Every structure is written in C-alpha cells, then in structure tokens.
Amino acid sequence: MRELPRVLTATALAVAALACGSGTTPASREPGDRPNFVLVFIDDMGYGDIGAFGSRENRTPRIDAMAAEGMKLTSFYAHPVCTPSRAALLTGAYPIRNGLQTGYWHPVLMPADPQGIHPDEVTVAEVLKQRGYATGIVGKWHLGDQPEFLPNNHGFDYYFGLPYSNDMSPFMPLNPRNHPPLPLLRDGDVIREVPEDQSFLTGAYTAEALSFIDRHHAQPFFLYVPHSMVHVPLWAGEQFKATSENGILGDCIEEIDWSVGQIRDKLEEHGIAANTLVFFTSDNGPARGSAGPLRGRKGSTYEGGLRVPTVAYWPGTIPAGTSYGDTATTMDILPTFASLAGGEYPAERIDGHDISGVLKGDTARDSPYEAFYYYRGYELRAVRSGAWKLHTDGTLYNLEADIAESRDEAATHPEVKARLQSLLEHAREALGDGPVWPGDPGIALPPTARPIGTISRSPELLIPRHGASGSAAHEPPIRSKTTNVTPPPGFERPANW
C-alpha cells in the first residue's frame, strides 16, 4: 500500500489569506470549566467509508486513531438527505416538526428558496452561546440562503463557507436547473465566487477551523465543521489528487482525514485536547461511497441511507477503545452538548436525548429511544425499537442479527410487528405522515409541527447571474409562486426518491 502524502498545512496555507480575525473578546476559562466542542459533519460519507468502520479502500489513520482512543457509535442515525439532516442536528428535533423535512420544491433547499430555518428555532449554537461559548461554523450550511436564515442569525458568531451544496453550481454537467454562481460567504457577505475547480475547499475550511481555534482556545468554544466533501462534484487538494487507491473519492476522504488530524494537532498545540469533545459523523448515507454491510444508500430509509459512521473522542473522559451499539442520533447533539456545558434548552421542543452518560463510559445503558422514526420527505417509512425495525410495507427485520435487512421476520414474530405497528400509528398522530413531495396534495401536519421560516419578499440570488440584468439576474433556479408547489413540468425526481 502506498504511503500517505506528507502534507503539513500546505493546502491550508495556500488559502490562509482568506482567514480574518473575529470580533469576539476571549473570556477567561476556569480549571475544569465547560468543555469545548468540535463537531465534524461530513457530506455523503457512508457507513463503510472509513477504516474504523471496515473500509479497505480508503486510508483514514487519524480518524481511525480517534476511534481506537475514543468511542465508536455503531447505531448512530442522521436523516436521508442534506437539509433535514442539518435541521435535526442543530435543533435536536425531527425535521418534520420545523418544516425542514424537505426544501421548498425539491428534496432539499435550493439557491434563493424563500424558506429556511425559522427565527424561533433554538439551535445548539444558541444554547452554548448563552453559556459564554464562542461559536463558529466553517463549511456547508444548507438551512436557507436568504439573510434571515444564515448562521449569524442563529447563534453563530462566525461563519465561513457555502450556503448550500457544492453541486448547486453552473458548472455541473448541462446545469439542468440553471444554477447561479456558487458563493463563498464570510459572516453573510459574499467574498468570492467559487470556480469550477473546487480543490481549494477542504484546505480552506481547515485553515479557517484552525484559525478559529487559535483565536478562541482560551475560552469555551463550539466549532461546527460541516465539510462540503464528499458530496459531488468531488475535488481534492493538490497534495491529495491521485494519491489514494480509490480514485477521486478516496482522495477526498483521505484529505478529510488529514483535516481531522490537523484539528487534533491544533488542540494538542494549545494544550486543550483533554478539555475538548471531538464528534465526527456524516449527514446521510453514501451517494458514491460505501454503506459497508448496510442495505440502501443516500435518500433511502434502509439502514444505508441514514445510519452513519460516528466517532466520539475526548481523551481522559471517553474511555479508549469503547463502542456503543444502541440507537443514538444527531438529535442527541443539542441536549448532550447542553448537558456537558451546563446549559439550558427548551426540552419540550426536543426529540433527542442526553447521551453524555454513554460518552463517559456507561455503554451498558439501554438506548433512551423507545422508538426512532424514519422519514423520507414527509412520508413515514419505518420505525426502530430496540433490535427490531418495521417498514411501513410490513417487512420486519432484527437489526442485531441481520444488519443488512435481508431476512423478513414479520411472519415469525407477529407480536413484535404488532407492537411496532402501534408505534407507527403514534408517529402518524404525533409527527405526521404524508406524500414525500412538499407540493403533493394531502399533507396534513399535526398541531405539534412548528412553522418554517418564510420571507415576505421575493428571494434573491447571493450572486447575480452573469450576463443578465434586472430581475432576471436574481431569479432562482426555478421560480415558483406558492409555498406548496408541484415540480415543474418535465422535472425528474431523483431515482432514490
């Protein structure tokens, strides 16, 4: 096997001029004070894409070392696609509660959509900010690109990154949705247009993350790093191109591993590794990578669509070489971080659970989830309770004995099927169940659903279209006149929807 490329911070240094200082004044930290949090959120990384979860194609030594020195969470769930997954992560709630289960007219939010995260939603950044944390996001947002929806209005002191997916660009083949120029933002301001060659992105994010730690290491901080890779189009930094044994996908994954290592090294440099929880996970299953032993991929509600590779690392607090196999989810991030920071949050708005006890070593405790519900768009598709998973088509699987969901046991365990069927009915009443597409008729959301953020004016692109003038320069990819719309004539929904 070839050796990993010897890269220090050349990629990061090449874009370090993009970085700038923050106006936040450092606060003093008392001994044993609130821990720091670094949350690394990869885009489209599958369960089998890193060595710690069985990959033999991608070399990920720094992430694998975190797993060996920390904890693997092997039944950790996100949601099937980008926008709902990020909504669940930041708000601690099923996305169907806050209107972000889909985009305005697409499975995810698109450029210049008139909707996004509501101003009343409470994010993990807002919870931690109330406890004196410096809060920063470096990477992909994807909860709305209009000013009201951007991170600085939802608890983040600092923001650097893309407002949505890196494929929402005019350089995608044929550009079937007429995507506008792709903007790179800092604190809501466009600082440059992203060219077709996105090879600088992971390095730029890494430089910004390291700079944030440099500025805030003397106070409690929360750093959220939602990488754009390994979402297509795949671009690796110069030092990583054609260096892996798995093509461009492997190049990108190995650069992500390098980036994680750079962050770990920076924590060590400042002597704060023992007071920092690093949490590494993915937003959904693979689009091009590997789901390992799991059935399904991104967009699916089989396990491969939303069970994701997850590692928690906190030397001296998380016992080394441990594993937790019961259900946990991205919705647990907010209550867990709040608990560890001594923060308060509106528990009545939260579907997640505090798993700080698990992270501290109590891996024998049962999952706090009586049930975890799988949604595809607004449509309820399955429920997991303990080892059992029931799909709405009536198939029943024992995930502990059959992780691949290959043996239907509905006929041999009718009592289990009946119990889980009652849980599905409860979800329909408490959360809702409707067609996948937001514009399809028949969606009746329950009283527990909260409003989605919606602007009262016409949305505008963050970068005007080249060669256009007037309103045409700011037209969204496909303009719609109502909030409940049917996809435009001739529009083809993705195959996995």
DSSP of 341-384: HT----GGG--S---HHHHTT-TTSPPS-S-EEEEETTEEEEEE
Residue 198 CB-half CA count within 13 A: 31
Between CA 446 and CA 183 the distance in angstroms is: 36
User: What are the φ/ψ torsions at residue 3 (nearest 5 degrees)?
Assistant: -75, 155
**Other Cβ atoms closer than 10 A to 186:** 17
Q: What is the dihedral of CA 488, 172, 493, 184, to 10 degrees?
A: -80
Per-residue pLDDT reduced to its tens digit, 76-131: 999 999 999 999 999 999 999 999 999 888 889 999 999 999 999 999 999 999 99
Q: Are 33 and 231 in contact (CB under 8 A)?
A: no
Contact present, 238 and 199 (Cβ < 8 Å): yes
Q: Which are the contacts of 332, defined by CB distance < 8 A and separation ≥ 6?
A: 92, 352, 353, 354, 355
**Strand 310-313 versus strand 36-42 pairing type:** unpaired
Angle at 213 between CA 117 and CA 345, to 5 degrees: 40
Q: What does the alpha-carbon distance between residue 306 and residue 261 come to, in Å, rounded to a whole number?
A: 25
Average pLDDT along the chain, 497 residues, taken 10 residues at a time: 38 38 40 85 98 98 98 98 98 95 90 95 98 98 97 98 96 79 97 98 98 98 98 98 97 98 98 98 98 98 98 97 97 98 96 97 90 95 98 98 98 98 96 74 75 90 90 74 39 34
Q: Rounded to whole angstroms, how far apart are CA atoms 50 and 56?
A: 8
* Integer Cα distance of 133 and 218 in angstroms: 11
pLDDT of residue 442: 61
**Given 82, 118, 154, 353, the catalytic residue:** 82
Q: How many helices (H) and strands (E) does the chain have?
A: 10, 18
Our measurement of the distance from residue 335's CA atom to the centroid of its chain's CA atoms, rounded to an integer in Å, reads 16
First-last CA distance in the chain: 38
Pick the catalytic residue from 79, 106, 118, 142.
142
Cα gap 446→435, rounded to integer Å: 14
**Which of 24, 76, 14 minimizes the C-alpha distance to 329?**
76
Q: How far is CA 374 from the centre of its chain?
A: 16
Domains within the chain, CATH numbers bracketed: 34-359 (3.40.720.10), 372-430 (no CATH)
Quick check: helix, strand or coil at residue 493? Answer: coil
SS3 191: strand
> Active-site residue 82, yes or no?
yes
Q: For residue range 145-200, what is the model confidence (pLDDT) as tens digits?
A: 999 999 999 999 999 999 999 999 999 876 667 889 999 999 999 999 999 999 99
Per residue, what are the HEC states of 150-175?
Answer: CHHHCCCCEEEECCCCCCCCCCCCCC
Q: What is the pLDDT of residue 478?
A: 65
Phi, psi dihedral angles at 189 (to 5 degrees): -100, 140
Specify the pLDDT at position 472: 82
pTM score of the predicted model: 0.91
Token digits of residue 456: 């009262």
Query: Contact at 8 Å (CB) between 449 and 99?
Result: yes
Total residue count of the chain as it appears in this document: 497
**Is residue 216 flagged as an active site residue?**
no
Say which residue the tokens 């590779």 belong to: 309
Structure tokens at 246: 């798995």
